[in-house]
Every structure is written in C-alpha cells, then in structure tokens.
C-alpha cells in the first residue's frame, strides 16, 4: 500500500485548519504544513494533529505548494487548502486509491459554501481539481490569480474519483467584494502588461453574457437568492475587470502606468 502525505499551506487559518485536519487524520500517513508565519493559533492546532510544520515566507501559491511537496516524505500527496474538508465518500475513495492507484494523478469535485449555502450550480460546481497525485510526475504552475497542478506528460490521463471536497470559501458579501477587487486589479494589470485592450462592445457584452450563461444556462436560479447574488457578482467582476483594462491601457499608452 502506498503511504500518503497530506500537504497544506497556511497563513492565519485557525478558524479553518482544525476542520480540515480532522477530515484527513484517518488516511494521512503524515501531515506537512508550510506556514507563512501565522500570528494566530494555526501552528499550534496543526501540531495537535501531529503535523510537521515548516515556516516559509510566502513565495506565491504555485511556488509555495511546490516547496511544500518537497518537504513530503512520501511520493503520493493530497494537497489541500486550509478552508477545505473531505467528505466521507471522498475520504473512502482516496483510501482505496492508496492500495492500488491506476493513474499518477486524480481529480475530484469541489463544492463551495457561499455565506452558509452550498452552491450546486451557477458555474461553481463541480469545479473539478487535481489534488491527489504522485509528486514526481508533475508540479504546480502559477498564474496571475490561480495555480493548478499538471502532469509533466500531457498525454497521460488524469483519473477521477467519487466524493466532494467541501470548500468553505465566502463567509460574507463583504468578503466577496474584497476578493473581486483583488482579482480584477491583478488580472487587469496582467492583461494590459501583455498588450491586451478592451473595446466598448466587449465591455458592454461580456458581463451580460456571463450573467446569462451562469444564471440561465448553468442553472444559477436553482441556487436561489445566493445563486442570483453570485451571478450578479460575476457580471460585476467582468464589468470592473474590463473597465480597469481600458483605464490602465490608456495610462500605459501615455506612459503613466508602467
């Protein structure tokens, strides 16, 4: 049977980390925490669960997770965020794979909790992620906003397993608004740096299309008031992003931004 390292990067996650660790303690042969010098009880809680803790200034999500993988003793890694939790079905699926993996990487669905409600539509589910893998067969790659894990050999297939990864992401409307500001700022600056522009037609059309796609085509209306809120914020995100691209492209053209 293969042994499994559960690897988590953290920063001030005392509200989440216990729930996460409780969900993996039955299948983890070791727990590795790479912490960016938390000032709360994150490290103490992790040590209660027997985790090995490494301190590291934050290098960016992809680089931090690759560094964390290198601290793991075992080849097979389950990479989680502190605000995530395994369901019993997913935990059982991972336990079976430890005995006889058929692939070098596995993906599974992530179900997000939005202000207390589980979102099963609106383009947010199944939100499949590769989180279980042989660390020698791939690595984390960073983007401006998000990171993702890929196999080195892009001809290899990724396996899929049953069960949801529960994601306790958005705790309030204010939290969502703060994240939109961060996302649109980083993504719009990156777009302009890469020479992208935005027409008035795109600014007018794309936010509306994304609302229609997520609320109607992806059945966001079935998520009730939360679904409507999410889809309206998606509209707002695209509107702000493209407005910022237009602004920053104008500033760049006249030498005032870069």
Structural domains of the chain, ranges and CATH numbers in brackets: 4-170 (3.90.550.10), 173-253 (no CATH)
Task: Please determine, for residue 144, whether its predicted confidence score (pLDDT) is greater than 70.
Answer: no
Task: Please determine, for residue 31, whether its predicted confidence score (pLDDT) is greater than 70.
Answer: yes
Which burial class, exposed, middle or buried, applies to 85 when counting CB atoms under 10 A from its CB (0-12, 13-18, 19+)? Answer: buried
Q: Which long-range contacts (CB under 8 A, 24 or more apart) does 85-88 make?
A: 85/19, 85/20, 85/22, 85/23, 85/165, 85/166, 85/168, 86/23, 86/24, 86/163, 86/165, 86/166, 87/163, 87/164, 87/165, 87/166, 88/163
Quickly list DSSP for 19-75: HHHHHHTTT-SEEEEEES--SSSHHHHHHHTT-EEEE-----HHHHHHHHHHH-SSS
Q: Model confidence over 48-102: pLDDT tens digits? A: 999 999 999 999 899 999 999 999 999 999 999 999 999 999 999 999 999 999 9
Q: Model confidence over 226-255: pLDDT tens digits? A: 999 999 999 999 999 999 999 999 888 877
Give residue 194's pLDDT: 87
Q: Is 88 helix (H, G, I), strand (E, B) or coil?
A: helix
CA–CA distance, 242 with 188 (Å, rounded to integer): 7
Give the pTM. Answer: 0.90
User: What's the CA angle centered on 199, arms 145 and 202, to 5 degrees?
Assistant: 70
| Rg from Cα positions in the chain | 20
């Amino acid at each position: 049977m293969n042994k499994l390292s559960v690897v988590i990067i953290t920063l001030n996650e005392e509200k989440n980390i216990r729930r996460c660790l409780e969900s993996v303690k039955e299948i983890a042969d070791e727990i590795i925490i790479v912490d960016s010098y938390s000032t709360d009880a994150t490290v103490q809680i992790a040590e209660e669960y027997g985790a090995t803790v490494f301190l590291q200034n934050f290098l960016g999500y992809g680089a931090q997770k690759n560094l964390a993988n290198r601290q793991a003793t075992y080849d097979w890694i389950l990479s989680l965020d502190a605000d995530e939790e395994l369901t019993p079905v997913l935990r059982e699926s991972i336990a079976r794979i430890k005995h006889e993996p058929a692939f070098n990487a596995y993906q599974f669905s992530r179900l997000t909790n939005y202000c207390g409600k589980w979102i099963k539509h609106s383009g947010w589910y199944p939100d499949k992620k590769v989180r279980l893998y042989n660390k020698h067969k791939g690595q984390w790659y960073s983007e401006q906003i998000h990171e993702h894990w890929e196999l080195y050999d892009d001809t290899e297939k990724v396996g899929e397993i049953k069960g949801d990864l529960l994601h306790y992401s958005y705790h309030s409307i204010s939290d969502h608004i703060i994240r939109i500001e961060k996302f649109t700022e980083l993504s719009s600056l990156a777009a302009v740096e890469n020479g992208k522009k935005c027409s008035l037609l795109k600014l007018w059309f794309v936010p509306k299309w994304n609302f229609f796609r997520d609320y109607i085509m992806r059945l966001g209306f079935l998520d009730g008031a939360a679904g409507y809120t999410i889809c309206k914020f998606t509209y707002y995100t695209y509107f702000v992003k493209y407005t910022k691209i237009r602004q920053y492209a104008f500033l760049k053209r006249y030498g005032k931004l870069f």
